[in-house]
C-alpha cells in the first residue's frame, strides 16, 4: 500500500464561474490509526451542485467551505484498516470524506452499506443524498395524488430522475424538463416519464411556456424545482389552483447571476404552496426514504445513470461541467 495519498483543497473563492485555479491538488501522508479509528480507501467521490454554494464566503444555510481545507463531499469506499470494534477490513462504507482518496474516522459519519444487491456507487445517487432529496420534496411537500401532473426540472439528473420515477410509481403524469434531445429521450424512453421538454430548444420564454403547456394538458399540480430562472417562470404560469412547488435548487443562478421571478402574483392567484427545503435537515426521514429507494433500485423499478470522471485530479473539471449541464445523470469521480 502506498504511504501517501492525494486530496484537493479549496485554494481560492470563485468570483462568478468556478475555475481550475480555485482548487489545489496536494499529496499527504496516509495517517497512522489510533485505537477506535478506521482508515477508508474512497472508491467514488460524489460531485454535487451544493458544493458551489459552499465555495462562496456569503452566509447560507451551511457554513462556507474553509480555504486550504479538503473540499467537502460524499464518498463511498472500503475499510482498509480498522481499530474500531464495529468496522472490519473489507466493509463497504458511505461517508463524507470529501475530495480525497483516503479518510480516517472514529466511526461517526460513516455507515456500512450492503453491496450485494445495490452497487456501491448508487449509495451516492438514487440510494443516497440525491435520492432522499427527491423522495422528501416529492412526498413531503408535493404529496402527489394519483392522476395529478408532476413536473421536474433538471429531469435527467441525480435528483430529477428519481423525482419523475417516484411520481410515476405514485400514479401521476410525470413531465421532465431537461437540456437537449438526448437527455429528454432518455427521460421518456428509459425512465418512463410521460413527456420531457427540451428547454434548450425554446427560443424564448414564450416558446418554453408553449412547450410546457403542450406537455401538461391538464396543467401542473406539483412542480419540483431544481433550476430557477426562465424555467420557473414558465412552469409557474402553468400551475393549477392549490398546486405545490418544492423548491429544491436554483442551479441556473449558482454562479452569481440574480434570478428574478417575473410574476410572483401567480402564487396568490393560483393559491400555491411554495416550500424550500434542505434534505440534511430531515435526517429522521432518511431511514424510511433509503429503505424505499434501496428496494426500488434493487428491484429495477428505479433506474439511474452515472457520468464517471476518472481519478481525483479530474474532479475540478467534472465539477465545472456539472454546473454547465455536461453531466448526464449522477456525476461521480472514480478514485481507484
Ligand atoms: N435542497 C436540497 O437539500 C438539495 C439536495 C440535493 C440537490 N439539490 C439541488 O437539486 C438540483 C439538482 O441536483 P443534482 O445533484 O440532481 O444535479 P444534476 O441534476 O445531476 O446536475 C445538474 C443539472 O442541472 C442542470 N443545469 C446546470 N446548469 C444549469 C443552468 N445554468 N440552467 C439550467 N439547468 C442547469 C443540468 O441539466 P440540464 O442539462 O438538463 O440543464 C445539469 O445536468 C440542484 O439545484 C441542487 O442544488 C438540493
Name all domains of the chain by residue range, CATH numbers in brackets.
Answer: 4-125+304-334 (3.90.180.10), 129-280 (3.40.50.720)
For residues 125 and 16, what is the distance between their CA atoms, to the nearest angstrom? 27
Spell out the alpha helix ranges (H) of 99-227: 129-136, 158-169, 181-185, 205-215
Give the nearest ligand 1 atom to 160 CA: 16
Q: Determine the pLDDT at residue 1.
A: 67
What local confidence, expressed as pLDDT, does residue 257 receive?
74
| Grid coordinates of 11 | 485554494
Residues in the ligand 1 pocket, defined by CB under 6 Å: 48-50, 130, 133, 154, 156-160, 178-179, 183, 226-227, 248-249, 251-252, 277-279, 322-325, 327, 330
CB proximity list for 32: less than 8 A, separation 6 or greater: none
Within its chain, how far is the Cα of 152 from the centroid? 13
**Contact status, residue 101 vs residue 29, Cβ threshold 8 Å:** no
What does pLDDT average to in each consecutive run of 10 residues of the chain (336 residues)? 93 96 98 97 98 91 94 98 98 98 98 98 98 98 98 98 98 98 98 98 90 98 98 98 98 86 97 98 98 98 98 98 97 97
* Ligand 1 centre distance from Cα of residue 205 (Å): 20
| H-assigned helices in the chain | 50-54, 129-136, 158-169, 181-185, 205-215, 230-236, 265-269, 286-299, 315-322
Give residues with Cβ within 8 angstroms of 312, minimum separation 6: 6, 7, 8, 25, 45, 99, 100, 101, 333, 335
Question: In 3D, which of 231, 240, 237 has the Cα closest to residue 266?
Answer: 237
d(CA 193, CA 185): 10
Report which ligand 1 atom has the smallest distance to the Cα of 281: 3
Residue 249: strand, helix, or coil: coil
Cα distances (angstroms) measured from residue 291 to each of 118, 168, 224, 296: 12, 18, 22, 9
For residue 264, give every residue at least 6 positions away whose Cβ sits within 8 Å of its Cβ, in sequence order, or none.
Answer: none
What gap in Å lies between CA 211 and CA 275, rounded to an integer? Answer: 25
Locate the ligand 1 atom nearest the alpha carbon of residue 250 and give its number: 45
Q: End-to-end alpha-carbon separation of the chain, Å? A: 13
Quote the CA–CA distance of 70 and 96 in Å, as a whole number: 11
pTM confidence score:
0.98
From 184, 190, 191, 187, select the one nearest 169 (Cα to Cα). Answer: 191
What is the whole-number distance in angstroms between the Cα of residue 171 and the centre of ligand 1?
A: 25
What per-residue confidence (pLDDT) applies to 59? 78
What pLDDT does 255 receive? 85
d(CA 282, CA 264): 28
Which helix (H) or strand (E) is 224 found in, with range? strand 220-225
Alpha-carbon distances, residue 235 vs 23, 175, 221 (angstroms): 36, 11, 10
Partners of 10 in beta bridges: 23
Nearest atom, ligand 1, residue 178 CA: 40
Amino acid at each position: 500500500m502506498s504511504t501517501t495519498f492525494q486530496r484537493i483543497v479549496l485554494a481560492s473563492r470563485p468570483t462568478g464561474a468556478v475555475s481550475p485555479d480555485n482548487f489545489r491538488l496536494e499529496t499527504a501522508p496516509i495517517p497512522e490509526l489510533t485505537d477506535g479509528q478506521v482508515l477508508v480507501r474512497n472508491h467514488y467521490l460524489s460531485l454535487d451542485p451544493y458544493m458551489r454554494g459552499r465555495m462562496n464566503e456569503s452566509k447560507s444555510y451551511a457554513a462556507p467551505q474553509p480555504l486550504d481545507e479538503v473540499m467537502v463531499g460524499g464518498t463511498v469506499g472500503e475499510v482498509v484498516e480498522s481499530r474500531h470494534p464495529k468496522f472490519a477490513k473489507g466493509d463497504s462504507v458511505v461517508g463524507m470524506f470529501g475530495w480525497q482518496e483516503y479518510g480516517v474516522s472514529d466511526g461517526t459519519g460513516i455507515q456500512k452499506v450492503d453491496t450485494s444487491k445495490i452497487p456501491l456507487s448508487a449509495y451516492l445517487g438514487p440510494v443516497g443524498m440525491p435520492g432522499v432529496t427527491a423522495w422528501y420534496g416529492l412526498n413531503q411537500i408535493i404529496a402527489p395524488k394519483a392522476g395529478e401532473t408532476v413536473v421536474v426540472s433538471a429531469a435527467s439528473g441525480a435528483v430529477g430522475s428519481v423525482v419523475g420515477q417516484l411520481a410515476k410509481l405514485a400514479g401521476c403524469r410525470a413531465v421532465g424538463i431537461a437540456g437537449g434531445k438526448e437527455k429528454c429521450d432518455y427521460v421518456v424512453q428509459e425512465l418512463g416519464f410521460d413527456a420531457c421538454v427540451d428547454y434548450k430548444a425554446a427560443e424564448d420564454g414564450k416558446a418554453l411556456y408553449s412547450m410546457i403547456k403542450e406537455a401538461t394538458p391538464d396543467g401542473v399540480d406539483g412542480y419540483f424545482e431544481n433550476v430557477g430562472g426562465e424555467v420557473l417562470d414558465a412552469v409557474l404560469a402553468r400551475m393549477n389552483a392549490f398546486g405545490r412547488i418544492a423548491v429544491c435548487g436554483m442551479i441556473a443562478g449558482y454562479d452569481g447571476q440574480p434570478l428574478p421571478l417575473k410574476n410572483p402574483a401567480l402564487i396568490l392567484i393560483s393559491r400555491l404552496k411554495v416550500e424550500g427545503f434542505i434534505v440534511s435537515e430531515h435526517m429522521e426521514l432518511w431511514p424510511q426514504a433509503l429503505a424505499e429507494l434501496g428496494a426500488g433500485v434493487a428491484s429495477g423499478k428505479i433506474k439511474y445513470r452515472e457520468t464517471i470522471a476518472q481519478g481525483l485530479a479530474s474532479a475540478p473539471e467534472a465539477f465545472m461541467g456539472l454546473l454547465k449541464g455536461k453531466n448526464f445523470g449522477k456525476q461521480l469521480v472514480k478514485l481507484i
